[in-house]
Amino acid sequence: MRITALCGGIGGARFLLGLRTLGHDVTAIANTGDDMTVLGLRICPDLDSIVYTLGDGVSVERGWGREGETFRVRDELAAYAGSVAAAEPLVPSWFGLGDLDLATHLLRSRWLADGVSLSTVTQWLCERWHTGIRVVPASDDRIETHVRLGDGSLIHFQEWWVRHRAQLPATGFDVQGAAGAKPAPGVVEAIMEADVVVLAPSNPVVSIGIILQIAGIAAALRATAAPVVGLSPIVGGAPVRGMADACLSAIGVATTADAVARHYGTRRDGGVIDGWLVDDADRDVVDALADSGFACRAVPLLMHDIAATAAMAHAAIDLAEGLEDAR
């Protein structure tokens, strides 16, 4: 079957590892709102988490960057920033660029500067990492998520997420570049021609939510003949990983499996999903969501290992297959 999965970084990458074992023809559409330029290098955290994870090169402990990483260049940059005034503003001391990771950023930045699209750059990187599935950025146009703080100021998502651990109260998220951004080549087709579309258990606001802001993608989800099924990234009232709760509260959505489903909405009511998987811990919301038109099931949603993740992916596809041609 042709499965198209919308996903963010760490959680999305883990989910793809399990989905890949089912042997379907998978296209992953990845968030690029986390992207940032550092010292002239284009950093694409979610794409890199996915490619490194599928390529078995990721630091499993961190979920980002490389296994066996060293940070000698980062420390050398910090030494410059600490002693040369002109260097200080260029070096984000809170953002650890690993030595192995730098090879990816150097090549990607050179190719982008030569006019190669991010899609093609990602395809080339996948050739080394043998990802086994197609990995496509949601857009080839540059978008960057910025966080609106209480005082109205904006900071880059990475600074909010990494430097401040999402502890600065946020009132919203502005995606710079989203207005003119187009879906990357093949993205709309991957949604329209899929047998099943899956929203991975990624951050619903700053990962999936950013992908949905790119013109044409939410419309494709609403138009595709394929059933659209999401997996809750919230279990028992808390994010499984990361700080989705801080993102959800910034947009006034409760941190529950139920609230996230309603935030996405059923396609019948103008939303983007038909089905929704919640963890067993949240089985008490299944009936209410079913009454609201969601095809809903409670299954184990913790990605302990690849087998558990594969079971989640299978449950999503099984739920999708049970749905009529949901239009």
The residues of the shown chain that bind ligand FO1, judged by CB under 6 A, are 8-10, 34, 43, 45-46, 48, 64-65, 95-97, 101, 158, 161-162
Shortest Å distance, C-beta 41 to ligand FO1 = 10
Q: Which is nearer to ligand FO1, 97 or 220 (CB)?
A: 97
Instruction: CB nearer to ligand FO1: give 9 or 275.
Output: 9
Residue placing its CB nearer to ligand FO1 in the complex, 4 or 31: 31
Q: Nearest approach, Cβ of 25 to ligand FO1 (angstroms)?
A: 26
Coil, strand, or helix at residue 296? strand
CA distance 210 to 213: 5
Residue 32 contacts residue 135 (beta carbons within 8 Å): no
Alpha-carbon distance 247 to 168, whole Å? 11
Output the six-digit token pair for 278.
Answer: 């919640």
Minimal distance in Å, beta carbon 163 to ligand FO1?
Answer: 9
Nearer to ligand FO1, 108 or 262 (CB): 108
CB of 195 to ligand FO1, least distance (A): 28
Cβ atoms of 214 and 180 within 8 Å: the answer is no
**3-state DSSP assignment of residue 189:** helix
Q: Are 225 and 320 in contact (CB under 8 A)?
A: no
- Supply the minimum distance, in Å, between the C-beta of residue 84 and ligand FO1: 22
Rg value, the chain, Cα: 19
At residue 58, φ and ψ (nearest 5 deg) are -80, 150
C-alpha torsion sign, points 2, 201, 58, 17: negative
Report, in Å, the least distance between residue 251 CB and ligand FO1.
17
Beta carbon nearer to ligand FO1, 194 or 303: 303
CB-nearer residue toward ligand FO1: 215 or 238 = 238
Q: Is residue 237 classed as helix, strand or coil in its secondary structure? A: coil
